[in-house]
Structure 1
């Protein structure tokens, strides 16, 4: 791509908030100091986009008014650098990168630790929410939000690392999953599937999945990621049978539901560790027998850090794990409306928009 001319205009996808996706022709931006222009190779559709932007524009996490500012959508892009602005030092034309989806102030404590997701500065802006995102032919990004995409991984792999796999990895890091652990994964959407793949890479000896949708359980079973999957009708009985009555030493809730979180904490063994990564809903649990007497440790995490995302990309190569296997539908940018309809309910696994000429790269 290093010799490819950049056009004057490009396509970008917008979400009016009425369960449709609209493509508009817009100018291709030019990179300023510390910025890179990427040709987008793939861009994932996230469940948070469906709940807070696609169906209607909602206030999100204390934002004054709707969090979506009418920008190009998509906070899960990966691509190749086609132009670099003044002062860029780490990446140049031809480099393949993953985009961490929050551009922070880079001066607050959270940004200095690499957790731009928790930036406390006024300059914080999320791609696809407050600044133009990756559902486009090109995206303008801050160099500080980029992570190198290993040659062994595709652009679709990179798009999945940008959000869902990063989220699952951070949650499993918090509970320190290892070869001594069984892992319970609650909610087998894209993040739950990512948790199973990463948990296996981290050494978990047995992985059990819980999911109410028979269609999603069948999809997960077909991917051969779990030792067993169970539904939500008396999941505790099935988990007890699979673990000789002990429960699992680690659990991660990816469902974002009260029932799912309850399943996670109720079926974790004594001295176990529980990670909460699913957005929304509430946590409601009996405290004494369920938490105190079992000596449970609860962790909550929100996405991951830029350094951890870089380590994850390298670990996936080392483990021989390809995130793209959880993608059930890949559609070109021109079919963004159909892609969002699939992601909003009709799809089975992850839905990605891909560039026609870069889908296999």
Structure 2
């Protein structure tokens, strides 16, 4: 099968023929139709997350079941499916409690094993981790669900506890940030989007942001726009600066959500004096369980959120290396998610 492989950290990935993966006894093989190119893939390629080399990345996927393990019930060849980027083991106490997104024995396609930058990907514990896709939802927008959109959805619904008319500040308007903007607006929040890119802020307004703030020190302007600070604030980028700004953007008793991955968590300094004196709440958010997808899919089906508007570019598998390299210095001229359509021929 085709797969995009890199042999060393930072080495140029290349499309080559590799053996097909074996189907896990408790899992499935999925023929990948579309897969997102996420900043987390860039983190692994640049060596920020350890992976076994040579490696095939990719973790946001939509496709069709191509093979089913003997222990799997309820899924069959031909089913259109997606999956969270975190696959729980389905056997431990954490999974039994309904939290496979933090399973201690989790697998992650594209990180703990080969991922979806390939014709086929193996997924474990299928009965816990597979989600059937509605017929009306195309493969390209469905590929946006598994990491960035689902992570933003759970952060806002499980942790932010937004009430109608409350303010949500979103720091960083990449894929997960724009997802948070769209979901927050659909949930009835008033959203202020923060980014350096005019294109990203323009798309944020199209997705429902009531206000936008452009700048590296947005705290004062966020407080002014929101009349005293946001009720909830998301660091959707992941840097010491955006994390601290998110916390400082909150009003008293506000909720900070850390969604963006921090390259050097030990070097991140949050204003804990404000956390204590203002009784702020701090949350991490790490994906979402497959069992929790139905309300999210219902929100999409309602038309309140347009997944297709979150997709900025559709590319072929051969174009992924350039897309990853472009994340070294994100462009201020483009916005939205990049999704690979596996059916597209090489642009070269």
Specify the TM-score bucket, using the shorter chain as the normaliser: 0.7 to 0.9
Change (3 A) 1:78 1:12: same
Change (3 A) 1:233 1:275: closer
TM-score by length of 2: 0.87
Does 2:280 match 1:293? no
Contact 2:85 2:287 in 1 (8 A): no
Per the alignment, residue 126 of structure 1 pairs with 108
| Structure 1 runs of 4+ with >6 Å offset | none
Per the alignment, residue 5 of structure 1 pairs with none
CA distance in 2 between counterparts of 1:80 and 1:350 reads 22
1:324 to 293, 296, 308: 308
Q: Secondary structure at the match of 2:325?
A: helix
Per the alignment, residue 264 of structure 1 pairs with 246
The Cα shift of 1:317 comes to 1.5
1:79 to 59, 63, 85: 63
Does 2:144 match 1:157? no
1:248 to 207, 230, 239: 230
Per the alignment, residue 97 of structure 1 pairs with 81
The Cα shift of 1:97 comes to 0.8
The Cα shift of 1:235 comes to 1.8
Change (3 A) 1:334 1:233: closer
2:209 to 206, 218, 226: 226
Does 2:179 match 1:188? no
CA distance in 2 between counterparts of 1:310 and 1:181 reads 25
The Cα shift of 1:74 comes to 0.6
1:27 to 19, 37, 49: 19
Q: Secondary structure at the match of 1:126?
A: coil
Per the alignment, residue 40 of structure 1 pairs with 32
CA distance in 2 between counterparts of 1:321 and 1:261 reads 26
TM-score by length of 1: 0.84
Per the alignment, residue 96 of structure 2 pairs with 112
Superposed CA offset, 1:51-107 (max 9, x none): 232x3x34x3xxxxx334433211111111233232322221222111222344322
Per the alignment, residue 11 of structure 1 pairs with 2
CA distance in 2 between counterparts of 1:138 and 1:171 reads 30
Contact 1:75 1:133 in 2 (8 A): yes
Contact 2:24 2:123 in 1 (8 A): no
